[in-house]
């Protein structure tokens, strides 16, 4: 007989997951409008109040290139303030459980993070990134892979000495928007290199939405066979073809229990235009239509995880409300379906019921829960040609 217990079919699949949010950094970096500091603080706070404990809030790179993050220090300072800590305490949140991340692609950014740490407002964790495909890596970092690896090794040593964690990101695992197909085995080797030089954890990133479910399952199975500690691995999927929920499921089936998302599925390549002015960003966009390059939607991901019965720690309804507020913030419809259509409620939606069903059933002499004519047998008899 077929096994129906999902967790027996996929014994590595977790019963509890961590979902980090990166809206205030990755989500906002692709917008061609400046999001006010007050709004950034609002969404960072509200996400934490809704259950987020791993949050990425800014980029410490050169604000000339990415002016969206010209308020980086102000955002971090607020999240380190006594006022915010007291708000967390009143809401029953253990502030020490929060992990606040800032992206630091190059060494100068890492140095800035350490300086902010010394001032008492720095992040808990930095993030650097390599791509297994060097053209993509060069487009993001401006240097070659060997030079960058040496830089990353220096930066990890600096961070360790300063009491900061460093996440190592591996990109172009399932393909590159510049050079096309890539090899999964290369990403496994890159992951080992990050850990060899002291990274605290690894973000496995599908930055261009190339991943397919079979290859996601294959890759993360390869990773966990080689490096079985699941606390080291984070899945980061972009949504360009509306198939990323299948990638999430495949990663779960392989055993991954840590994911990242953004409200409304925002995010993608840094903007090269802000408000009324062209800005450098990381150059020309990789895509014909830059509206459809964001991450998986936090709202939809939470509904998917929640309805699978997997523990996640979020107030789903509060996140759905935040999704609707975000559409007002950016002034357009975003990509979450759950934010609009809500959750699948176990109790249903009685307000949509048509009046009079019980009267009609009584008129026909039917019992309230009767589903078929009283003259039929209690159990269906399947025609012989259809039986197993």
Please say whether the beta carbons of 190 and 235 come within 8 A: no
Q: How far apart are CA 38 and CA 74, in angstroms?
A: 10
- Residue 373 sits in the same domain as residue 275: no
Question: Please, what is the average pLDDT of the chain?
Answer: 96
In a domain, 346, yes or no: no
Q: How far apart are CA 178 and CA 133, in angstroms?
A: 9
Please say whether the beta carbons of 253 and 10 come within 8 A: yes
Q: What is the pLDDT of residue 212?
A: 95
pLDDT in tens, 94-115: 999 999 999 999 999 999 999 9
| Residue for token pair 């419809």 | 333
- Residue 170 sits in the same domain as residue 207: yes
- Residue 379 sits in the same domain as residue 322: no
Count other Cβ atoms within 10 Å, centred on residue 263. Answer: 34
In a domain, 295, yes or no: yes
Extract the tokens encoding 83: 């006022």
pLDDT of 290 higher than 80: no
Q: How far apart are CA 168 and CA 203, in angstroms?
A: 6
Average pLDDT of the residues in 349-355:
89
In a domain, 90, yes or no: yes
pLDDT of 277 higher than 80: yes
In a domain, 347, yes or no: no
Residue 229: CA atoms inside 13 Å, Cβ hemisphere, count? 8
Residue 343: CA atoms inside 13 Å, Cβ hemisphere, count? 19
CATH number at residue 216: 3.20.20.70
Q: Residue 85's Cα: distance from chain center in Å?
A: 25
Percent of the chain with pLDDT over 90: 90
Number of domains in the chain: 2
- Residue 312 sits in the same domain as residue 378: no
- Residue 196 sits in the same domain as residue 289: yes
The angle subtended at Cα 198 by Cα 228 and Cα 185, nearest 5°, is 50
- Residue 380 sits in the same domain as residue 240: no
Q: Name residues whose C-beta falls within 8 Å of residue 190's C-beta, 6 or more positions apart in sequence.
A: 130, 132, 170
Q: Which helix (H) or strand (E) holds 361?
A: helix 357-363
| Residue for token pair 């990755």 | 26
- Residue 360 sits in the same domain as residue 286: no
pLDDT of 261 higher than 80: yes
| Residue for token pair 């890492």 | 110
What are the residues facing 235 on neighbouring strands? 204, 259
Average pLDDT of the residues in 236-246:
93
- Looking at the chain, how many residues does it have? 388
- Residue 333 sits in the same domain as residue 367: no
- Residue 305 sits in the same domain as residue 369: no
Extract the tokens encoding 250: 């495949």
Q: What is the pLDDT of residue 286?
A: 80
Average pLDDT of the residues in 316-337:
96
- Residue 141 sits in the same domain as residue 196: yes
In a domain, 349, yes or no: no
pLDDT of 315 higher than 90: yes
In a domain, 35, yes or no: yes
Rounded (10°) angle between helices 244-254 and 298-307: 50
Please say whether the beta carbons of 169 and 128 come within 8 A: yes
pLDDT in tens, 47-74: 999 999 999 999 999 999 999 999 999 9
Give the domain extent around 53: 6-341
- Residue 254 sits in the same domain as residue 369: no
Q: How far apart are CA 160 and CA 169, in angstroms?
A: 17
In a domain, 152, yes or no: yes
- Residue 216 sits in the same domain as residue 364: no
Please say whether the beta carbons of 193 and 149 come within 8 A: yes
In a domain, 334, yes or no: yes
Which ranges constitute the DSSP H helices of 101-232? 107-119, 134-141, 145-162, 184-196, 213-226
């Amino acid at each position: 007989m077929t096994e129906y217990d999902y967790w027996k079919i996929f014994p590595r699949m977790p019963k509890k997951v961590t979902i980090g949010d990166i809206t205030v950094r990755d989500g906002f970096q692709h917008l061609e409008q400046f999001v006010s500091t007050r709004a950034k603080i609002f969404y960072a706070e509200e996400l934490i109040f809704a259950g987020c404990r791993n949050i990425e809030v800014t980029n410490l790179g050169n604000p000339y290139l990415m002016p969206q993050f010209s308020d980086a220090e102000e955002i971090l300072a607020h999240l380190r303030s006594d006022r915010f800590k007291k708000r967390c305490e009143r809401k029953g949140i253990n502030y020490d459980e929060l992990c606040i991340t800032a992206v630091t692609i190059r060494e100068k950014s890492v140095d800035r993070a350490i300086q902010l740490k010394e001032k008492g407002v720095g992040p808990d964790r930095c993030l650097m990134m390599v791509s297994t495909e060097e053209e993509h890596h060069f487009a993001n970092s401006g240097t070659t892979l060997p030079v960058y690896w040496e830089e990353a090794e220096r930066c990890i040593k600096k961070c360790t000495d300063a009491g900061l964690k460093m996440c190592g990101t591996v990109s172009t695992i399932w393909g590159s928007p510049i050079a096309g197909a890539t090899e999964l085995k290369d990403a496994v080797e890159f992951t080992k290199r990050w850990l060899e030089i002291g990274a605290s954890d690894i973000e496995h990133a599908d930055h261009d939405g190339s991943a397919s479910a079979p290859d996601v399952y294959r890759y993360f199975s390869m990773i966990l066979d080689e490096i079985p500690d699941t606390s080291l691995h984070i899945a980061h999927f972009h949504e360009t073809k509306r198939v990323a929920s299948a990638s999430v499921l495949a990663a779960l089936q392989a055993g991954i229990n840590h994911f990242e998302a953004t409200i409304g599925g925002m995010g993608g390549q840094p903007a090269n235009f802000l408000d009324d002015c062209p800005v450098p960003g990381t150059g020309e966009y990789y895509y014909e239509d830059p509206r459809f390059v964001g991450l998986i939607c936090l709202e939809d991901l939470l509904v998917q995880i929640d309805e699978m019965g997997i523990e996640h720690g979020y107030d789903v309804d509060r996140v759905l409300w935040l999704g609707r507020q975000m559409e007002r913030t950016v002034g357009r419809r975003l990509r979450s379906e759950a934010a609009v259509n809500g959750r699948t409620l176990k109790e249903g939606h009685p307000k949509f019921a048509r009046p009079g069903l019980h009267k009609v059933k009584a008129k026909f002499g039917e019992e309230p829960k009767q589903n078929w004519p009283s003259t039929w047998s209690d159990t269906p008899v399947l025609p012989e040609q259809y039986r197993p």
